[in-house]
Amino acid sequence: MDAVRRDRIPRLARGHDNATGLMDTHGLRELYDLVLRLSAVHDLDALVQEVVDHARRLLGVDVAYLALAEPDGSLVIRVTDGSLGPRLRGVVLPPHSGLAGRVADTGEPVQSADYLGDAALTHLGDVDRVAEDEGLRTILGVPLRLRGKVAGVLMVSQRAVRRFTAAESSLLTSLGSFAAIAIENAKLVTALGAANDRLERAVRLHDRLLAVALHGGAAEDVVVPLSELVPGLVVVADEHDEVRAAARDGVPVDAVLDGTPSAWFADPAARRTHVGDKTITVPVASANAYFGALQVVLAAPLDDAEVRLLERAAMTVALVASVERAVTDAERRTAGELLEQLVTRRVRDEPAFTRRARSLGLDLRRPHLAVVTPDLEALPRLRELAARHGGLVTTVDGQAVGVLRADEATVRAAELGTTGLAGPATGASALADAYDDASACVRVLEALGRTGSTATPADLGPYRYLLGQAGRDDASAFVGRTLAPLLAHDEDRGTDLVRTAEVFLRCGRRKSAAAEALTIHPNTLYQRLDRITALLGEDWQDGDRALDVQLALRLHRLRRELS
């Protein structure tokens, strides 16, 4: 590895946030740069060697090695970095055996804290002897996945027991996924080299596609140069089958997609080139996600080399989309963690927290509205509000939570379902208070049966007293003064007079309706009402006293439901 590449490794390592267990956005962008440099290496042996060199230094481990899948399902260790001798290189791992076999079978990362003593794995004597000679203890393996298949396994190992974190596993998995694309690119370049009449054009397209990836180009930057080499209309669509760009003979055009690739490629196992009578469609996908499709409406038949060009172009689009999504997800996770710290009052150093929040787009010096909804389907709309007006959005305790610069009318117009609003508030402590109020509003709305409504504390009338401890204490005192004899009777004798009184008043003091709602005989209702009158007095059903009793009954029920 040249000096420039080695110099970048420490910067990548610093991208891992030890305090939070997450890689920050800068670290992901560094990984993006690293992967793009790997994609420019066309020699397969040199490429896989660079992958393991990067993996070892990226995670700070003793040994890294990479095995590629063979047609019979076995895995052959092609390259190593940090090994004590040559024995590890060239080791053949039969199908389904060892940690690498588990990774290949499941397509998921696998970690063993002490490999040689791990009874959950299928061990082979020859392989274990090599591991023992190398002194390998903790091993983490991740798949090199491409189009739903595992093309190989990337592994890192420590000669002492170590627990790799979820963030480290995710980082290595990302490198493995991108390495799979780069390896496939190298294989395709080698294969295209045999087509002498197309080699020069393929290399030119490769350089242009690489420039697109490096500069984060748009769909047009892929389909326009591709349409100069492929006879027909070239179309690229997103995962919802919406056309993003189209071109013919190097000129952008308007076009309609032929068919619904999202249905064809819904199953990851089916994400391979789809050949129709008049079209060829290639999935734009990474190991874990489907981003759309690249399609050619044919003006003439395509040979194998031209189909390979389509597949390489699709991989370039997938690489850009995958890294963009990874960066977006990392930013969202970091922002979500910060917002959760804010609303759960885990801010230790408020000045430092305020600076960090500002770097993520949340200026705590400005007033923000706290928004809480249990409807997680509202998350996209909340994020749109945050993107348009400023603020952060995450999930806390199974609810969608936003701290937004938008005003109350704008949030209400977004129709987020059952929603609590509070604020605007400024500063970490005040925003945490606003979140508590907004969460309580949601609970009160649900207890009142007003699901689908939006409310601030001021919208809840007398029930707003239930939002804070002082108000709940006052409400408890009011309920006690008004209903004490009734509550004591139910407690001592196991009766249901409190509910009877509430249902009777809610039914407008209509005895037949109340008896039906309570599913009791009218005579039973009359007996209960007589007992209630004896306990509360003759005027409990009339005038202001009836209002007090009905409010106390409602507060009593809500207190129990909110506790």
Q: What is the Cα–Cα distance from 310 to 305, expressed in whole angstroms?
A: 9
Picking from 392, 276, 383, the residue whose alpha carbon sits closest to that of residue 340 is 392
Q: How far is CA 294 from CA 71, 233, 242, 260, 316, in A?
A: 28, 11, 12, 12, 11
Tell me the β-bridge partners of 233: 248, 297
Q: What is the Cα–Cα distance from 185 to 210, expressed in whole angstroms?
A: 11
Which token pair is 430?
A: 């005040």
Q: What is the Cα–Cα distance from 153 to 176, expressed in whole angstroms?
A: 8
CA torsion angle for 195, 197, 200, 205 (degrees, to 10)? -70
One pLDDT digit (tens) per residue for the chain, 563 residues: 343 333 333 333 333 343 333 444 554 565 666 666 766 666 778 888 888 888 888 888 999 999 999 988 899 998 999 888 888 888 899 999 889 999 999 999 999 999 998 888 888 888 888 988 889 999 999 999 877 788 899 999 999 999 888 888 888 888 888 888 888 877 777 665 544 545 555 556 666 666 655 555 566 677 787 888 778 898 888 888 888 888 888 888 888 888 889 888 888 888 888 888 888 899 988 777 788 888 888 888 877 777 887 887 787 777 767 666 665 555 566 667 777 778 778 877 777 777 777 766 778 888 999 888 888 888 888 888 887 888 888 888 888 888 888 888 888 888 888 888 888 988 888 888 888 888 888 887 877 777 888 888 888 766 665 555 555 666 677 777 778 888 888 888 888 888 888 888 788 888 888 888 888 888 888 888 888 888 888 888 877 777 778 777 877 777 666 55
pLDDT at 103: 92
Q: What is the Cα–Cα distance from 343 to 85, expressed in whole angstroms?
A: 54
Counting every residue, how long is the chain? 563
Asked if 296 contacts 302 with a C-beta cutoff of 8 angstroms, the reply is yes
Q: How far is CA 509 from CA 394, 443, 501, 513, 529, in A?
A: 46, 28, 9, 8, 11
Helices (runs of H) and strands (runs of E) counted in the chain: 19, 19
Contacts of 147 (CB under 8 A, 6+ apart): 268, 271, 272, 283, 285
To which H or E segment does residue 415 belong?
A: none
Judge residue 397's burial from the number of C-beta atoms within 10 Å of its C-beta, 0-12 exposed, 13-18 middle, 19 or more buried: exposed
Provide the phi-psi class of 240: left if phi over 0, else alpha when psi is between -120 and 50, else beta: alpha
Contacts 24+ apart (CB under 8 A), 91-95: 91/67, 91/126, 91/127, 91/130, 93/67, 93/124, 93/127, 94/124
pLDDT at 200: 59
Which token pair is 335?
A: 């922002």
Asked if 317 contacts 294 with a C-beta cutoff of 8 angstroms, the reply is yes
What is the number of other CB atoms lying within 10 angstroms of the CB of residue 155?
28
| Terminal-to-terminal C-alpha distance of the chain | 62
- What is the helix, strand, coil percentage profile of the chain, to 5? 55, 20, 25
Asked if 422 contacts 438 with a C-beta cutoff of 8 angstroms, the reply is yes
Contacts of 321 (CB under 8 A, 6+ apart): 284, 286, 289, 291, 292
pLDDT at 156: 94
Rg of the chain over all Cα atoms, to the nearest angstrom: 32
Q: What is the Cα–Cα distance from 309 to 321, expressed in whole angstroms?
A: 18
Q: What is the Cα–Cα distance from 417 to 460, expressed in whole angstroms?
A: 17
Judge residue 491's burial from the number of C-beta atoms within 10 Å of its C-beta, 0-12 exposed, 13-18 middle, 19 or more buried: exposed
3-state per-residue secondary structure call for 26-45: HHHHHHHHHHHHHHCCCCHH
Asked if 310 contacts 222 with a C-beta cutoff of 8 angstroms, the reply is no
Strand 399-404 relative to strand 391-396: parallel, antiparallel, unpaired? antiparallel
To which H or E segment does residue 363 belong?
A: none
To which H or E segment does residue 161 belong?
A: none
pLDDT at 215: 55
Q: What is the Cα–Cα distance from 435 to 539, expressed in whole angstroms?
A: 42
Contacts of 510 (CB under 8 A, 6+ apart): none
